[in-house]
A = this chain, B = another copy of it.
């Protein structure tokens, strides 16, 4: 039965990276575009992104942040103003140098030397600099603060090694940019955004995360402090799924964002920025996928219920379709998880088993198969994607009276949402180990465990050469420090790197 049971040819335990690519392909999420490092996001993948956008945007607006749109291009001179920022990004950007093509005399086209830009333009890798220039125009007085903006946009970072959704040259994201009168107010916003991301990840994405501060060496270029949410993938690696930065006054000084305070003195604003991207979809796949494909949490599933009529291309099809259409209408008029239920009646031609497996691989939360006998008897046959298999090698379709299913559809959807979270949370928690010496770290990651998980350690937060040494020692084990959880228990021992009394906890892991 295994040929039927496992819809994918690769199992997670055999080759996680290969499994990941296969899920993306088989679930028709995305594909290589033929343009270096850029992907095509296909309808099911883009539909999930649209759900993410809708729900995240509601949270952003509820926080009083207003959406704007800023230019794709950043003049080189803007970009060069903040020294650390340049240093951090200058190696991986797309540079526009010409604004016209001309025939090369050999039947092709080349950039027209007559149309060379006086100043090259950078395709935005992030928009602090160009938004900072707008803030400098918009902010005059303390009355203009806080200024809270966000944009949904595409950005480009020239990546040498790309992986779909996780690291692509072009990706889609939202970037929040805010300006405040002082450090305290800016820090409140930085942590509000972080908490919003934590709530979003653990809510709609059903993906447990640790919210915490990144170590100094992992800060955003130019930031004073960087916070992240970190999720554990099923191969034990960490995925940074969202970041929030307190930028101090560095970007304000570079862009001239000044305001007159209540006493009439000119002050620099304190700015923040925070972002999440299509990378979250990679996290969703590696958190919830199984050996049969993707499982999409209902809150972000484009369709929560897919109805599959088992058409036979005979006279009975009409009655079957009428039954399914009535069912669709009854379900669509219900609410689950605070929104109308999203139902698709998939009438496309095709073999019933092929269509079923297509939706299993795509991870639609609930699949209903309806045959002629079901229609005649007022029944439905229901498959919960989060419980695809019971102990027999047979998909656990459950037969139910149609009205019973309609009555329980919302609670099934809500239960899938919470079950996926609980399953991921249990997996994550079981794979975090507290260790109290560097030797234990070495042993933990040297063991012949394929997917070792994370360790939680205590450290003294060294800086300078000591920090360099920590980074180097970890790098030899292919490890990085992820973050210091905001809600950590107090430290009790010594720093595993320096032996001095520890000041905080930090997670160490392999990472995407």
Contacts and interface: CB of A to CB of B under 8 A. Distances in A.
Interface string A20-56: 0000000000010111001111110011011000000
Contacts of A172: 69
A79, A92, A95, A121 interface centre (most CB from chain B within 10 Å) = A95
Contacts of A75: 34-35
Contacts of A109: 76, 79-80, 86, 90
A389 interface: no
Contacts of A93: 99-101
Contacts of A401: none
B100 A33 contact: no
A314 B253 CA distance: 39
B90 A95 contact: no
A170 interface: yes
B69 A40 contact: yes
Given A46-B67, A154-B154, A123 B123 contact: yes
A38 B73 contact: yes
B73 A170 contact: yes
A153 B38 CA distance: 15
Interface in A50-106: 50, 66-76, 78-80, 86, 90-102
A40 B170 contact: no
A338 interface: no
B158 A100 contact: yes
A149 B47 CA distance: 12
A264 interface: no
B95 A94 contact: no
A383 interface: no
A74 B134 contact: no
Contacts of A86: 109
Contacts of A154: 72, 153-154
A120 interface: yes
Given A46-B69, A68-B46, A99-B95, A33 B90 contact: no
A327 interface: no
Assembly stoichiometry (copies): 2
A170 B71 contact: yes
Contact of A97 (B34, B102, B111, B349): B111
A78 B34 CA distance: 10
B97 A101 contact: no
A98 B99 contact: no
A166 interface: no
Contact of A100 (B31, B76, B90, B130): B90
Contacts of A70: 33, 40
B33 A71 contact: yes
A133 interface: yes
Given A46-B67, A68-B40, A97 B99 contact: no
A31 to B, nearest CB: 8
A100 B80 CA distance: 13
The 4 tightest CB contacts between A and B, nearest first, are: A38-B71, A43-B66, A41-B69, A95-B98
Given A73-B94, A91-B101, A123-B123, 6 more contacts: A38-B73, A43-B66, A72-B156, A80-B109, A93-B99, A94-B96
